């Protein structure tokens, strides 16, 4: 669909993309982890887009199998949520992924 194509385009053209909700602490945590690592993620706040936000969340679920926020992509690859991103960081793999994607 058109929406799926636009998500694919956004996640391949931007090194780090976070689909988020403004009032969600897990979304804030992952956004601030990226900032601490020197990466400036493209953040899309699903709750600030009216009905399109819900449509977009359904599209993300179709594309990734994940209906929850935050929904994180690095270098066009689907990473998962907050706990997935933090686990990668603890294992020392996040910095590598960010530099390979040209985010840092």
Query: Which residues of the chain form contacts with ligand FES (CB under 6 A)?
Result: 24-26
Cβ at position 58, least distance to ligand FES in Å? 18
Q: How far apart, in whole angstroms, are the C-alpha atoms of residue 77 and residue 73?
A: 5
String marking each residue 49-88 x if it binds a second copy according to CB under 8 A: ---------------------------------x------
The 10 Å CB-count burial string (b at 16+, else e) for 82-99 is: beebeebbeeeebeebbe
List residues binding ligand GSH (CB under 6 A): 23-26, 67-70, 81-83
């Amino acid at each position: 669909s058109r929406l799926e194509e636009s998500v694919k385009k956004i996640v391949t053209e931007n090194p780090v993309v976070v689909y988020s909700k403004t009032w969600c602490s897990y979304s804030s945590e992952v956004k601030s982890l990226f900032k601490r690592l020197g990466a400036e993620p493209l953040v899309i706040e699903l709750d600030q887009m009216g009905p399109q936000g819900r449509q977009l969340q359904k599209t993300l679920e179709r594309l990734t199998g994940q209906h929850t926020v935050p929904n994180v992509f690095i270098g066009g690859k689907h990473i998962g949520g907050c706990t997935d991103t933090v686990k990668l960081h603890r294992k020392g793999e996040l910095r590598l992924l960010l530099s390979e994607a040209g985010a840092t």
